[in-house]
Chain A
């Protein structure tokens, strides 16, 4: 299958190094402490953060830091076929864990001892790269909830098809079975907090592909930063003195 035409266009008309259009919106869930919607092309994800709040199950309470929990789910209407998926299937559990670990790594949990932070992410539309979109949405929601973080975590995927590194795979490219690298990245500290890959790649190509994903993360970070700054300014001037 030809994923990149000899003219250098992908199936959806992007060039290999181009991301899909991204859009973010803070504050989509009224009752949550922080919430956000993040879109990468047709992938759309909503995240809601509750907390820091009293730990629900006292036995899980940690005395010197906050407990972070995450639940990932996919709306039944998010894919083309309306399959009723049981809650807590293996894939969801895995992604929940991945998001939790990624976010926990950058939340300053020691500042909120004996409390709990719940992150709920739900995929509203799935078109590849849901994992990345979830992490980006969660970052925004956490920032909205005013939870102190070491750095912004952003995530982006990249792949390698037709001997070309491709940024931000969509569903068709994702399901081609080629290597698919998902990177979670801290732009300020310049560190990778998440790295996943399906299938195999030789190390030198892998580095290129990963670097491409990191560039994608940086671009997303810039966008997210702007959104957050604009949001803060709005809140501040609306409140008045």
Chain B
């Protein structure tokens, strides 16, 4: 039994328990296959006459379909598979992921995206800073580190699985290096695939990227620049910055300074994500904003958001919210 690790007092315990129970009753009513949860080696009832396609997490054992994972049985037409909950990220083509560079290698970067292997971002599937489509030269290869270094956080898209692993691409200005913000890691199953994974929260001046791999980026808003001319002008400058990072002038610091309000917003949003992740709630933009607003309306300090009281409040709020949507539906 996975416990929520919080130090709660007695009343908080009871409140949390009540909220969770409410959630449980809601989901069991809502979910038609609530008893489709299986654990390893449980057999999955199927009608063999209809023909069955075995999907992920299933195994044929002497004519019996058996789960190899703990999760929920899903059926799509003939396909039967087990959707695991707590597991590493399972990439799908087109997923937007956030990753961290673990290695700069021959013509490629390796990225940790919480998959069973490191993902590969080829230099060739990368838009060059100058924005010109051309063959990559040896010089480009040598300058790879000026684009992404080890431990840089990058946003990219899943291109597909090739023989040598998972390939990413970043052929748009919205992908690329992420700076001035926080990277949060949550279990991937909490992030659902949606149409929109990039969110610009204008009122806070913050960008929020919900990577499908459970890596969530909260950072200062950056205008997507697609004017190459400007880029070209600033290119030597940028390179300059790169080459002697340590000697950034005060002036430049001033220029790149993130206002304190923005920083606070970043932290507040990040903590909202953290709370939701602790509670194991689905993470999407609406819930994050609700949580954010709840904390602001309660006039809580940012650090108090991680306290147990706020967690309980969020749980109660979530229970309330879900029961409302349920009634509407």
Contact = CB atoms under 8 A, between A and B. Distances in A.
A26 B2 contact: yes
Contacts of B118: 54
A240 B88 contact: no
A155 to B, nearest CB: 15
A203 interface: no
Majority SS at the chain A contact face? mixed
Interface in A26-54: 26-27, 30, 33-34, 51-54
A51 B69 CA distance: 15
B66 A188 contact: yes
Contacts of B189: 235, 239
The 10 closest A-B pairs by CB, nearest first: A146-B87, A52-B116, A237-B27, A27-B2, A188-B41, A115-B116, A148-B68, A228-B39, A146-B84, A238-B280
Contacts of A152: 39-41
Contact of A145 (B68, B87, B117): B87
Given A54-B102, A143-B40, A149-B68, A236 B85 contact: yes
B88 A234 contact: no
Which of B66, B70, B86 neighbours the largest number of chain A CB atoms within 10 Å of its CB?
B70
B39 A229 contact: yes
Interface string B243-282: 0000000000000000000000000000000000001111
A98 interface: no
Contacts of A146: 69-71, 84-88
Interface residues of B, number: 48
Nearest to A188: B41
B3 A225 contact: no
9 contacts: A114-B117, A115-B117, A232-B71, A234-B24, A235-B85, A236-B34, A239-B280, A240-B318, A240-B322
A24 B213 CA distance: 29
Interface string B65-81: 01011111000000000
Interface in A73-112: 108, 112
Contacts of A151: 40-41, 66
B41 A236 contact: no
Given A146-B69, A148-B57, A231-B2, A237 B23 contact: yes
A184 interface: no
A231 B70 contact: yes
Which of B40, B190, B279, B282 neighbours the largest number of chain A CB atoms within 10 Å of its CB?
B40
Contacts, number: 148
A1 interface: no
Contacts of A22: none
A33 B88 contact: yes
B236 to A, nearest CB: 36
Nearest to A225: B39
Interface in B9-45: 20, 23-24, 26-28, 30-31, 34, 37-42
Given A148-B57, A151-B40, A233-B24, 8 more contacts: A25-B3, A146-B86, A147-B69, A235-B85, A236-B37, A237-B28, A238-B23, A239-B282
Contacts of B57: 148
Contact of A230 (B1, B30, B69, B116): B1
A144 interface: yes
B94 interface: no
B165 interface: yes
Contacts of B42: 225, 229
B59 interface: yes
A145 B40 contact: no
A189 B61 contact: yes
A146 B88 CA distance: 7
B40 A235 contact: no
A2 B166 CA distance: 62
B112 A54 contact: yes
A51 B41 contact: no
Interface string B91-118: 0000000000010000000101000111
Contacts of B39: 143, 152, 225, 228-229, 232
B36 to A, nearest CB: 9
Nearest to B103: A54
A232 B3 contact: no
Given A229-B70, A232-B71, A240-B281, A144 B1 contact: no
Contacts of A225: 39-42
Given A26-B2, A115-B116, A228 B40 contact: yes
Contacts of A145: 86-88
